[in-house]
Amino acid sequence: MNRQLKYTAAAYAIAQAFVANAHAQDTTRPVAEVIVTGNRFIAVDRASVGGFGEASLFDTPASITAIGRTQMQDLSIRSTTEAMRFDASVADAYNAVGYAEQFSIRGFALDNNYSYRKDGFAIPGDTQIPLENKERIEVLKGLAGLTAGIATPGGIVNYVTKRPTNTPLRSATVEVSERGTLYGTVDLGGRFDDRRFGYRINASSADIHPYVRGANGDRQFVSAAFDWQITPDALLQLDMDYQRKAQITAPGFQLIRNEVLPTGVSPKMLLNDQPWTRPVKTKDSNLGLRFEYKLAPSWLATVAANKHWFKRDDFTAFPYGCSNEGAGYYPGYCSNGDYDVYDYQSTGERKSPWGVQAQVQGKFATGMIRHALTVGTSYSERHDSFGDYVYDYVGYSNLWHPLVTPHVAATRVTGPVFERRSDEERALFAQDIVSLTDRLTVHAGLRHVQVKRSEFVDEATGYVHSDDSFLLPSAALVFSPARDWNVYAAVSHGLQHGGIAPMQTTNENQVLAPQRSHQVEIGAKAALDNGINLSAALFQIRQGLEYTDAHNTFVRNGKETHRGLELTAQGKVTPALDWSLSLMALNTRQEGTSQASIDGKRVTDVPAFKSTAWVQYAVAAVPGLKLDGTWQYSGKKAFDVANTVFVPDYHVFGVGASYGVKWGATNVTLRARAENLFDKFYWRDVTPELGGYLLPGAPRTFRASAQFDF
């Protein structure tokens, strides 16, 4: 799609949003009214990720945060990366500009196949997950074995889809950011003349010019959601979306001689900068269906299904190693900044997960004891197809004096694409929330999971098959010492597929066997009358340690244990001053490998302490004007499993402002933000994957937007 066509499509979509009300507006009316809105950051107090239905965060014995649609608007959040900055328990995990958004929670890297959910169903996290049609982002921190089945022990990120509105919704936003990124989106909702039917339409387009020079691209998105209230007791919901994105990705840096951090580099540098560089192209679409039926006043039956399609053509001028100094460094760059360049191509990659879940929920009493019971079953499949990739040495370049290298011959293309891996997951689950007294509640649940996998090894071996079954119990005790306080203790089991051996290892692309994880957590939550909400959790999570050993083989050996303390608080100091705070202190240890270079060392890419603070002030002297500021801190992080190199800690500050006015019949909100206000250079993300890479944080960036609601 050429640039003119992209701009035309975006402008047309935004214009259509205005047409519906254009004739109803008095265009001669001056801008005379100011919109004064209350704080919207402290608004989401319910989530569905902690159980089998939407529930109060205060009553859920788990550590959960949720960021809603209005919060995302107020903070100009356009991606999950921007949203996760406000939760200290979440960090980047090889989150490269122009590629997939990848994260860790409580120090555990999330699984791209199972840790990201859309309305509870697993979707691939291999590209930017669109937020335009999402009502909120929910983050469950800790094991999700009971509710999600397979997921990494850090937790899951769940995206809740927007639903049709009962009143007409017409909203449009335009924004300019970074080095000239242009973005436009519309949000339309309401009911048809037959009010049993509702609709929600979202569309957006972006011409992407990020802070990394040359990592340009474009993105288009469209979605639709419909409701049909068949009878007062029966509701049918349908949603669908499509996204196309093409963007040049920005690879990370490596250590000099695999020993020391590179210096004199900039986050604006693009190492994937060759005349033959091509963008990573992704297409993904989704279809969701949900049917609810009220069996009785306190009983609800639900059947839901979801199907996802993902396709990617992956291209990179990949920087790896140094062949121009001595015997070479693999990984690592030369002392003078030289690095080898490989032409990487993997086209036609496909993932197609789908799932279905049925459950019945009800409330009843046995004498003085009250029950909230859920029983259900689920089934899901995932099919991954890809070919043998191209990874050919084509020359070398230099960090500070870039060189042009040739690309591979036109005959070098990705090998035949066919299904290499498929998974099946069958589950039965039950949970009973038992209120023994008004102050004491027991949450007890059990999930039986059967996991089947078929995986292609090589031409000689063919496919190998596995079939495993697991029981995943979960129990929690909640005590309410006062009306506005809850304390809890919980024990849970998790299950995750083994890691996939990285490229260039001796067992490349092979998946380790599934493994269990175990968690113990105690916590406290408060919802005080003065508007302050508090949540604290003390936890320990343990699982097998996976890493690439000295023989360049990806293995599971020993254990990694994460012990931590999380604290979140938010509230109002005065009617005009709002604040929020998120803290995490985390102690991680590797043990049981019988290797002195690893045992007792910290887990990579995990700070011992991280915090995020946000404050907002409504300026009384200028009605409609709000100012806010953010402060993020991260402690130092280990680069490698042997802890020979650490990246230093950092502080990053940001500021923002919004001003609301009424223009005729249209509410207009103007926003502006500056991130990394003091232009601090820092390493935000380090990973041992692919030999070890370092990704710098964004430099000082700006954005300005206008939102129109009418």
Residue 163 in 3-state DSSP?
coil
Residue 50 in 3-state DSSP?
coil
Whole-number Å distance between alpha carbons of 334 and 340 = 9
What's the mean pLDDT when you consider all of the chain?
92
Q: How would residue 597 be classed by pLDDT, with cut points 50, 70 and 90?
A: confident
Furthest-apart CA atoms within the chain: distance in Å: 80
Q: What torsion do the CA atoms of 553, 449, 468, 455 make, to the nearest 10 degrees? A: -60
For the chain, report the end-to-end CA distance as a whole number of angstroms: 31
CA 6, chain centre distance (Å): 27
Whole-number Å distance between alpha carbons of 136 and 129 = 13
Whole-number Å distance between alpha carbons of 355 and 383 = 12
Whole-number Å distance between alpha carbons of 6 and 216 = 14
Tell me what pLDDT residue 507 has. 87
Tell me what pLDDT residue 499 has. 83
R_g (Cα) of the chain, nearest Å: 26
- How far apart, in Å, are the Cα atoms of 556 and each of 185, 329, 512, 642? 45, 25, 8, 16
Average pLDDT of the segment spanning 40-60: 81
* For residue 4, pLDDT beyond 90: no
Q: Pick the more confident residue, 38 or 635.
A: 635
Which residue is it, tokens 């190199």? Answer: 645
Tell me what pLDDT residue 45 has. 83
Give the tokens for residue 209: 């010019």
Q: How many CB atoms lie within 10 A of CB 439?
A: 13
Q: Per-residue DSSP letters for 51-111?
A: SSS-EETTTSSSEEEEEEHHHHHHTT--SHHHHHTT-TTEEESS--TTS---EEETTEEPP
Average pLDDT of the segment spanning 569-579: 93
Structure confidence by residue, pLDDT tens digits, 73-86: 999 999 999 999 99
Structure confidence by residue, pLDDT tens digits, 433-487: 999 999 999 999 999 999 999 999 888 889 999 999 999 999 999 999 999 999 9
Amino acid occupying residue 613: A
* For residue 22, pLDDT beyond 80: no
* For residue 181, pLDDT beyond 60: yes
Specify whether the CB–CB gap between 163 and 133 falls below 8 A.
no
Residue 3 in 3-state DSSP?
helix
How open is the CA angle 646-650-654, to the nearest 5 degrees? 150
Whole-number Å distance between alpha carbons of 647 and 255 = 11
Stated as kind and residue range, the H or E segment containing 4 is: helix 3-22
Q: What torsion do the CA atoms of 257, 258, 261, 264 make, to the nearest 10 degrees? A: 40
Structure confidence by residue, pLDDT tens digits, 484-540: 999 999 999 999 988 888 877 888 878 888 999 999 999 999 998 878 999 999 999
Tell me what pLDDT residue 500 has. 82
Tell me what pLDDT residue 200 has. 98
Tell me what pLDDT residue 547 has. 85
Structure confidence by residue, pLDDT tens digits, 63-74: 999 999 999 999
Specify whether the CB–CB gap between 538 and 521 falls below 8 A.
yes
Amino acid occupying residue 644: T
How open is the CA angle 206-92-251, to the nearest 5 degrees? 65
